[in-house]
């Protein structure tokens, strides 16, 4: 997984925030650890989709991981 300038710590923080927002939207209670895990999994899946669609070279950066 290539993060286009986003480090692992930033990916964890962004993943945690995205997971927390999803938790608030879905009205669930999964905890901070699962928020981070699901956020990172979502970032990995989206990264694979963007690379398959040839969006990788355009440097979508951290916005794509939200």
What does the pLDDT read at residue 18?
Answer: 80
User: In angstroms, rounded to a whole number, what is the distance separating the alpha carbons of residues 28 and 8?
Assistant: 26
Delimit the domains of the chain by residue range.
8-65
Q: Locate tokens 């986003």: which residue?
A: 6
Strand runs labelled E in the chain: none
Say what the alpha-carbon torsion angle 55, 58, 62, 66 is, to the nearest 10 degrees: -30
Please indicate whether residue 41 or residue 4 has the higher confidence score (pLDDT). 41
pLDDT digits (tens, 9 = 90+) for 5-64: 556 677 677 777 887 888 888 888 777 788 778 877 877 777 677 777 776 555 556 555
pTM to 2 decimals? 0.56
């Amino acid at each position: 997984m290539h993060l286009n300038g986003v480090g692992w710590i930033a990916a964890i923080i962004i993943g945690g925030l995205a997971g927390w927002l999803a938790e608030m939207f879905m009205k669930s209670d999964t905890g901070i650890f699962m928020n981070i895990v699901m956020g990172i999994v979502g970032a990995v899946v989206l990264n694979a989709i963007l690379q398959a669609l040839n969006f990788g070279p355009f440097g979508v950066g951290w916005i794509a991981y939200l």
